[in-house]
Structure 1
Amino acid sequence: MGRRRSPQEKKALSYAKDRRNEYGENDKSSRKNIPRSKKYPHRANRRRACLVLEAAKGAVDEVAESAVEERLLTRRPKSWKKWPDAPLGEVVQYVLRRRMNLGLGGQESGTARIRRVRRRMQQLVE
């Protein structure tokens, strides 16, 4: 069993390990959009393979077989990858910098807060 962590260690771990959606869409909508985005390229690849193989139906013909195989292998299949979420510490620093640039907080207090976040993230590395 591991040792107990101090609140400062927990905060540093949270800044490093917790992730936030940085893509710009609602984070709750990802539950539907990620599976949907994975589904469409797979469906397109299956449909394309079926259409190409449909052309090769019938009697065995080596010319048609090689043409179908070439069509299947030459074009790269469609794919989709998830945009990785950002660590919480980076997101917090970005928000603090943005607030400072917009003049929503004091310059000195903003830089001090950013330094604190960086220091907490560095505690984990040491």
Structure 2
Amino acid sequence: MSKVKTPQEKKLLSYEHDRRNTYGENQKSSRKNIPRSKQFSHQGERRVVRQVLIGAEGYVADERSDEAQSQVARKGRIKKLKAFRKSPDTPLGEVIQRRSRNRLEKAE
């Protein structure tokens, strides 16, 4: 049995929990764009690490290898912090308030 009893309570909960895409692009394109953005982000991390390690190819001194290892850790971490992150959609209640406010402004 549902703990929510009245239709008014159900509507309020719907406004809090339901979400709408307000990012500004086609809603269906997120299925392709989110994985693509994650892919590019991960490729960038691997590229940075590879570029650092190119200088340490072949026989190198211990100091040089330690320096390369620390650079890999530092640059990889920086790149990871700037990586793509998903952002949640806007709650339905906020979307409805914004639309009603825009309608009032246009009517005036």
8 Å contact from structure 2 (residues 16, 93) kept in 1? yes
The SS at the match of 2:30 is helix
8 Å contact from structure 1 (residues 16, 87) kept in 2? yes
Letter in 1 for 2:101: R
The whole-number CA distance in structure 1 between the counterparts of 2:59 and 2:68 is: 14
8 Å contact from structure 1 (residues 37, 80) kept in 2? yes
The whole-number CA distance in structure 2 between the counterparts of 1:4 and 1:89 is: 18
Give the alignment's TM-score, normalised by structure 1.
Answer: 0.71
Letter in 2 for 1:43: Q
Return structure 1 stretches of 4+ with deviation > 3 angstroms. Answer: 1-5
Give runs of aligned pairs for residues 90-109 of structure 1, distance below 5 A.
Answer: 90-103=94-107
Letter in 1 for 2:64: A
The whole-number CA distance in structure 2 between the counterparts of 1:46 and 1:30 is: 24
Tell me the equivalent position of 2:83: 79
Structure 1, unaligned runs of 5 or more: 108-126
The whole-number CA distance in structure 2 between the counterparts of 1:99 and 1:14 is: 22
Q: CA deviation at 1:51?
A: 2.6
Number of residue pairs matched by the alignment: 104
Tell me the equivalent position of 2:14: 14
The whole-number CA distance in structure 2 between the counterparts of 1:21 and 1:7 is: 25
The whole-number CA distance in structure 1 between the counterparts of 2:90 and 2:15 is: 10
Deviations 1:71-124 (A, max 9, x none): 223331140112221110010000000011011xxx7xxxxxxxxxxxxxxxxx
Give runs of aligned pairs for residues 8-87 of structure 1, distance below 5 A.
Answer: 8-75=8-75, 76-77=78-79, 78-87=82-91
Aligned-residue CA RMSD in angstroms? 2.0
Structure 2, unaligned runs of 5 or more: none
Percent of pairs with identical residues: 46
Query: Greater Rg, structure 1 or structure 2?
Result: 1
The whole-number CA distance in structure 2 between the counterparts of 1:89 and 1:13 is: 10
